[in-house]
A = this chain, B = another copy of it.
Amino acid sequence: MKQIDGGVTAAKGFEAAGVEAGIKYQNRKDMAMIYSVVSCKAAGTFTTNVVKAAPVLWDKKIVETAPYVQAVIVNSGIANACTGRQGLDCCEEIADYTGKLLNIPASAVLVCSTGVIGMQLPVDKMTAGVEKLLNAKQSTLAAGLDAAKAIMTTDTVHKQIAVEVEIGGKTVTLGGMCKGSGMIHPNMCTMLGFVTTDANISKKMLQKAVSEDVVDSFNMISVDGDTSTNDTLLVMANGLAENEEIKEENEDYKAFCEALHFITTYLAKKMAGDGEGATALFETKVIGAKTKEDARVLAKSVICSSLTKAAIFGHDANWGRILCALGYSGVTFDPDNVDLYFESKSGKMHIFGNGVACDYSEEEATGILSDPEVTALVDMHMGDAEATAWGCDLSYDYVKINADYRS
């Protein structure tokens, strides 16, 4: 497997675009498109929130029932959530309109929205935006980058990646992009994530790969504990790499899953590190847990703790808050058997063991915690299971951004 330049246009046969449609923002790209020149198998996972945005309902139905998809239309600025019948009608109108222009059925058009909850989408601006997108779409890396930028809301950086992997003697490419910065506490995945690939894989195996992957990628990040109404991960495979179709759990499937996991983990970490107001990516790795699920629950509890996150912002080795967060996670353990380490580019330090603080230097600890990527390593000494979760620190800017996000 080899990382290459680009994002959603890296794989064969995919085009993309990002344009200004004036949905909410002035002078900012706010609509994006992904298009495959041939039909694709699609897989997806969606928010578990009971309050599902209209586009989530639209996409879920298509991913579950439509034979193929070929295009995705995304807008930022307005989430089209809590918008009732009118919101659903809007999805249908956009898909219809796009389908007619592309000469494909509406059921081959996925739609995604992100932004403020409760506002209705301006359909006329959206359809005008679709026209712009169709004129702009290209297979270049620059076009993929435009799309990655157009889906941003409070994100400070765009997020994309691509890899090549050898499958059945053929070079298969996967590319992905995502957005997400606030309302990030994926319970499925989070936010909007898109992966395109020219792999030849059955719809069933594609969905299986995606569903199993998110548990340890997107579902292991959190910015603020709020599971969005719009969380969507869509994966489109158009088969143009011409590898023999992956239909079962063989070596090819394994290679595909590895490449997919590389993409999703990269994007998930990028999202956590670009959490609203974040100054640091905060990773918690739990090893020696009794079960994989225990490891996941423990790691997530730590990265979700507001107090721990504030301490990371302050570069303060307030490890008691980490012990506290492990303790209320719901997993049973003996605190006397836990070892805790802080780790970053600046070094690694044993901070807690045998039930008490180690004899460490506060200054050295602050040094380790001052890096932009900080890891808390927790050894439970109860078994062999491990899991990693990613979050970010809690800063003044998180409050600033969210105290008047709408204005």
Contact = CB atoms under 8 A, between A and B. Distances in A.
A79 interface: yes
A399 B394 contact: yes
B49 A407 contact: no
A396 interface: yes
B403 A50 contact: no
A360 to B, nearest CB: 11
Interface stretch (A137-145, A195-203, A330-338): A330-338
A396 B403 CA distance: 10
Contact of A84 (B229, B316, B320, B356): B356
A314 interface: yes
A355 B117 contact: no
B320 A117 contact: yes
A103 B225 CA distance: 51
B306 A225 contact: yes
Given A325-B226, A403-B311, A82 B50 contact: no
A50 B320 contact: no
A194 interface: no
Contacts of A387: none
A50 B333 contact: yes
Given A327-B49, A331-B50, A399-B395, A316 B407 contact: yes
Interface in A232-279: none
Contact of A226 (B48, B183, B307, B405): B307
A52 B355 CA distance: 11
A117 B321 contact: yes
Given A51-B326, A306-B226, A307-B224, A84 B355 contact: yes
A406 interface: yes
Contact of A82 (B49, B314, B320, B331): B320
A6 interface: no
A328 B227 contact: yes
Contact of A49 (B79, B183, B328, B406): B328
- Looking at A224, A307, A326, A332, which has the most chain B CB atoms within 10 Å of its CB? A307
A319 interface: yes
Contacts of A224: 306-307
A320 B118 contact: yes
A305 interface: yes
A45 to B, nearest CB: 15
A51 B324 CA distance: 6
B229 A314 contact: no
A71 interface: no
A323 B51 contact: yes
A148 interface: no
B402 A311 contact: yes
Interface string A11-32: 0000000000000000000000
A357 interface: yes
B399 A335 contact: no
B320 A355 contact: no
Interface of A: 48-52, 79, 81-86, 116-119, 182-183, 185, 187, 224-229, 304-307, 310-311, 313-314, 316, 318-321, 323-329, 331-333, 335-336, 352, 354-357, 394-396, 398-407
- Interchain residue pairs A-B with the least CB separation, the first 9: A117-B320, A314-B403, A51-B327, A310-B402, A84-B355, A227-B328, A49-B327, A224-B306, A50-B327
17 contacts: A48-B328, A50-B326, A50-B329, A50-B335, A51-B328, A82-B323, A82-B355, A83-B355, A84-B354, A117-B319, A118-B319, A118-B352, A118-B357, A182-B307, A226-B306, A226-B325, A396-B396
Given A118-B319, A225-B306, A311-B403, 12 more contacts: A50-B326, A50-B331, A50-B333, A50-B335, A51-B323, A185-B328, A229-B327, A316-B405, A318-B405, A318-B406, A395-B399, A396-B400
